[in-house]
Amino acid sequence: MPRKTGVQENRGHTSTDDFITRTYILPILADKERRKSITDEHRANPIGKPGLAGKAGVGHSEDLRRVLDKFRRAPQAGKYVMVQVKAHADYRIGIASGVRGKPLRMLPKSFASQDDCEHGIFLKRVKDIMTLYGVR
């Protein structure tokens, strides 16, 4: 079987994403104070708040935006997603297979609100990236 090319293995994207992660994301996550700050900020406002009645929306800090943008670039295979099991009462984290039509793998922990589930996903992603890059 012929060897795959760099394009087929998506090496350009992978190398660029690794550079961005090491340069812009890991310094935030490796600094305990910055990591605590974005974790607290995300817990209080996981998805941002839109502006209402002429008032400005509530966005996220630069550090949190950078980390969230990194998470959004993740491939579909293995990505954490929120699943509503029971309306307004039971939310769970699913793990996408990356294959259309293949069911999610569901994690057992239940969350009482969308915001709690979104924050649970955030914490899992932070832990995963820190583990992958050996950050303590």
118 versus 47: which is more confidently predicted?
118
Q: What is the mean pLDDT of residues 84-113?
A: 95
Rounded to whole angstroms, the Cα distance separating 56 from 23 reads 31
pTM: 0.87
What's the rounded Cα separation, in Å, for the pair 52 and 101? Answer: 38
Model confidence at 11, in pLDDT bands (50, 70, 90)? confident
The stretch 96-117 carries a mean pLDDT of: 95
Per-residue pLDDT reduced to its tens digit, 53-84: 887 777 899 999 999 999 998 889 999 999 99
pLDDT in tens, 37-53: 999 999 999 988 777 78
Q: Which of 63, 59, 74, 60 is nearest to 25 (CA)?
A: 63
